[in-house]
Amino acid sequence: MTDAQETAADPSPLAPSQPPSPSDADGPPAALPAPVPLLAPREGVPEVVASEEALAETVARYAAGSGPLAVDAERASGYRYGQRAYLVQLRREGAGTALIDPVACPDLSGLGQVVEDTEWLLHAATQDLPCLRDIGMVPQRLFDTELAGRLAGFARVGLGAMVENVLGYSLEKGHSAVDWSTRPLPEPWLRYAALDVELLADLRDALEEELAGQGKLDWAHQEFDAIAAAPPAPPRKDPWRRTSGMHKVRRRRQLAVVRELWNARDKIAQRRDISPGKVLPDAAIVEAALAMPVDVQALGRLRGFSGRAGRRQLDQWQGAVDRARALTETELPQPGAAPSGPPPPRAWADRDPAAAARLSKARADISARAEELRLPQENLITPDTVRRLCWEPPADHGPEAVSAALAGYGARPWQIEQVTPLLVEALDAPAA
């Protein structure tokens, strides 16, 4: 009996009417029964694991469990520096639900090892895998219920929407953006967190059945394998260039002000373990770069700096501006390097009409094919891959050469099979 069936059989107020099957989920809204609120985990909210002894007991319990492992993690985005996990939620048949405090128990590699051979169930896996990897939790196999929903053609793929449309339950939505670094965590937050993994196994099973019925299950497995095998993302080069509003900053010395303020802010944020935006907003950094204030008084009059903490704080920001002002010409940052790959498509018609014709044909045909398959176009093939292939096509426009080019860009076999015929035809499209 599945988790959802057990809950449905429970005579408690949690019991729903019969949940709709996945194939019913895209039917007319009037045909769906009203979702039933899922108010609490069936075994109640577990105590938070916050000691080595409790963690050892949890490891043993999950090692003895069976079936896939439902996993979720909560971060403190917008509150703390970085993207570390502040709560990890697990659920497995025979082991129940566990809520683990990775601040008190920062090394979960022992837990990761005892479940490494099982399938992990995550929703939007790429969001949680980096912070899980940092504490020693790395899956070998996974099932991403969000990505499965996309491939199955669901219009809304958030966890709440998927649980509601597929299983007939509604999840509480009120605590997704709270400060999960808070200690102790309030009981309502813990209940919310536990419910996030309560029905992941049921959702996985229903989506697997739906994907199999649509002939897409192998596609999904290829996507999941690619996520599990992907290496950690490398550190970003010049992360200060991603400051919101940078498009307004044109001069090299103004760029230097952005860089100096960004670096100063980052050091403070890291030292205080606080979100950089709470130290100094991006808008204030850009404002200072454009104004180039000559002293603290001028800086204090700028939007984003007036009314902020006292003279001492203004002094450190003005110090960053002064450092940028004192740099020699050779020390100033260069304008952002041109992005690798083809130019923006809006420039193609003038620079290479033949490439523009190829891209137009490819986009139209791929869009139509994605609609036929009932999945998002970007999941059928990434737009960047299409642009690169159309801008610099292989000398041979035959299927083998196009397939090899797609594989070189990281396309999965199912994607190559679906889009190669379309791109072969597009590469021979006549210029307008």
Tokens of 373: 């398959």
pLDDT of residue 10: 44
Ordered DSSP codes for 2-17: -HHHHHHH--STTPPS
Query: For 97-130, what is each residue's pLDDT tens digit?
Result: 999 999 999 999 999 999 999 999 999 999 999 9
Tokens representing residue 8 in the block: 């449905």
Q: Which residue has the tokens 């523009």?
A: 356
Distance CA 231, CA 227 (A): 9
- The H-or-E segment that residue 93 falls in is strand 85-93
Residue 18 tokens read as 């019969």
pLDDT of residue 340: 73
Helices 413-427 and 353-373, axial angle in degrees (round to 10): 140
Residue 339 has what pLDDT?
Answer: 64
pLDDT digits (tens, 9 = 90+) for 43-59: 999 999 999 999 999 99
Q: What percent helix, strand, coil does the chain show, rounded to 5? A: 55, 10, 40
Q: Would you say 231 and 83 are in contact if contact means Cβ atoms under 8 Å apart? A: no
With a cut of 70, which residues of the chain have pLDDT below it?
Answer: 1-32, 307-311, 337-339, 432
pTM of the shown model:
0.88
pLDDT for 17 equals 33
- Collapsing DSSP to helix, strand or coil, 98 comes out as strand
| 22: preceding bond cis by omega (within 30 degrees) | no
- The Cα–Cα gap between 29 and 248 comes to 46
- pLDDT reported for residue 174: 75
